[in-house]
Amino acid sequence: MYAEQPKGGSSSSWKRRQLKLANVAAGFASAVQPIFAQTIITDSEGLEAGPVTIPTPDGEIPGYRAKPTGSGPFPLVLVVQEIFGVHEHIQDICRRLGKLGYVAVAPELFFRQGDVSQLQSLEEIRAIVSQVPDAQVMS
């Protein structure tokens, strides 16, 4: 199992090579291990959190909001959803920001085309998202 030291190389340089090789092997081994994803759920204690409607020139759109209880003023953070909609992770981000003293609002940017948070396949989600014009999202 032990390799011979290369000719002309010092003992310390050979040990460094072995250490680097061991680090690479350990990094690769940890990278190929299964990852167990868990949804982090921040409680809403001390917050006003839940679904909201957001007025726009085209009508109201649904969203999620979390803010500290009590009177503000509180700074506002706009939380932009992922392609999967305003699902539990995005709502949790709003609650975490609310716990830090912000009003966090996550609008459903694709709601006019469909609710992507309830879809299972990426093809279904892409079909909805591809219909959303940039101007609609930005407005």
Q: What is the DSSP string of 19-62?
A: HHHHHHHHHHHHHTS-----------TTEEEEEEEEEETTEEEE
Please indicate whether residue 102 or residue 120 has the higher confidence score (pLDDT): 102
Is the pTM higher than 0.85? The answer reads no
CATH 3.40.50.1820 fits 47-138, yes or no: yes
Tokens for 118? 């309830």
Q: Using CA atoms, how far apart are residues 83 and 137, in angstroms rounded to an integer?
A: 12
| Per-residue model confidence as pLDDT tens digits over 5-52 | 555 555 666 677 777 766 666 665 555 555 556 767 889 999 999 999
Q: Using CA atoms, how far apart are residues 61 and 72, in angstroms rounded to an integer?
A: 24
Domain layout of the chain by residue ranges: 47-138
Percent of the chain residues topping a pLDDT of 90: 35
Range with top average pLDDT, 17-26, 92-101, 102-111, 127-136: 92-101
